[in-house]
Structure 1
Amino acid sequence: MPVVVGFVPTNEGRTALRRAVEEASLRNEKLVVISSNRGGERFTDAQAKGFDEELEKIKAELSAKSVDHEVRGLVRGNDPSEDLVEVAEEIGAKLIVIGLRRRSPVGKLLLGSNAQRILLDAKCDVLAVKADA
């Protein structure tokens, strides 16, 4: 049963990816990396190119480490939480790994919380990790 990780090119995302590699290796399972972007009019060509380049870097890094993996870049208008939970259910994931960042109460109210939605909606275990200092 695969391990799914939500990846964004931030310190939190890189920490989650690093921990997900460890978990997949410990469990001898495939790692499925999900990078979700809403897309739409605000998703410029330059951003799309950067998104694709970042995913190619991840593929190369995981291949170099001989990690059994799949990398999915999703641009379909969903919240990242929806994409992660949906893919985890689709592939029968055993674990979802996500990175956390500190946000103010007002920030949580205005922007919502993908992490909270994943924790509440996922049917499998969720490992939430803090970013490296």
Structure 2
Amino acid sequence: MAVVVGFAGTDEGRAALARAEQEASLRGTSLLVVDTGREPTPAAELEAALGSLEVEHQLVPPGPLRDAAEEVITAAEGAELVVIGLRRRSSVGKLILGANATRILLEAPCPVITVKPAAS
């Protein structure tokens, strides 16, 4: 079993990756990194982010349809945990989550942890 993380080259994606690495280390399992950015994450950025990981990991490149939620949910089959990043929202925006986050929370076959980046 692995920990799955939805990663994009954003503050939210980096926060999710850091938390997922902690969870994988605590659980003694590997990390499955799903590239969920709107555009494929540039290779140099991926290498920098993944190169510093201290747990065994595997990258799942973006699928042809770029459906981030579907890719994370599919990768989570048999996983122990999913970690996703959420962006900070306005008061009104807090009433609804993004469509991908909502779908992952509702359809993932295992527990989901959501994280926010540190306030700047």
Name the TM tier (shorter chain). Answer: 0.7 to 0.9
Does the 8 Å contact 1:37/1:75 carry over to 2?
A: no
Alignment of 1:19-98 (within 5 A): 19-37=19-37, 51-62=42-53, 65=54, 67-89=55-77, 92-98=78-84
- One-letter code of the match for 1:86? T
Tell me what 2:85 maps to.
99
C-alpha distance in structure 2 between counterparts of 1:9 and 1:36, whole Å: 9
Structure 1 residue matching 2:82: 3-state secondary structure = strand
The gaps in structure 1 that reach 5 residues or longer are none
Question: Judging changes above 3 Å, is the alpha-carbon distance between structure 1 residues 54 and 73 closer, same or farther for their aligned structure 2 residues?
Answer: farther
The alpha carbon displacement at 1:9 in A equals: 0.8
C-alpha distance in structure 2 between counterparts of 1:30 and 1:76, whole Å: 25
Paired-residue identity, %: 48
Which consecutive aligned stretches of 4+ in structure 1 deviate over 3 angstroms post-superposition? 103-106
The gaps in structure 2 that reach 5 residues or longer are none
C-alpha distance in structure 1 between counterparts of 2:114 and 2:105, whole Å: 9
The alpha carbon displacement at 1:53 in A equals: 2.2
The alpha carbon displacement at 1:125 in A equals: 0.4
